[in-house]
Amino acid sequence: MGYEGTTYNIFQILHVIAAIAAFGPLFVYPRLQRAGQSATVAKLHNSFVIPALVLVWVFGMGLQGLSDQVIRVADLWVSLSIVVWIALVAISWFMIKPSLRDDSERAGKLLSAGIGMTHVLLVVSLYLMVFQPGA
């Protein structure tokens, strides 16, 4: 990819920071929940992680619009990235979020499954962003 300019570089940095903010806290959720901090984790997820996940989308689409190259949604890596992002939002909203305030064994399993799926999809997303298959 060629040089796109300062605005592009700023969006790229913000996109990466938003991704770190969206996925980084998930690594400590199980430990915090076991320590009895369920309310704190739920508040962190609702006020920080979900908005950061939305910003990943905003800055990603901004990068697409600011790029010197023609990047189309029909490009394999772009369309797969969008599908992965939608899956990440769904997992965050329907699996992780409901299990954060519940201390039951079922909620713990749901949280673990949601975090595990998120980590796998994060690796897939990183692969798509770095190697851009089909580009």
List, for residues 115-128, the tens digit of each pLDDT value.
999 999 999 999 99
Among 74, 53, 73, smallest CA distance to 122 is for 53
Structure tokens at 122: 């994060």
Q: Taking a C-beta distance cutoff of 8 angstroms, is the pair 11, 59 a contact?
A: yes
List, for residues 74-109, the tens digit of each pLDDT value.
788 889 999 999 999 999 999 999 998 887 889 889
Whole-structure pTM over 0.75, yes or no? Answer: yes
Segments making up each domain of the chain, as ranges: 6-130
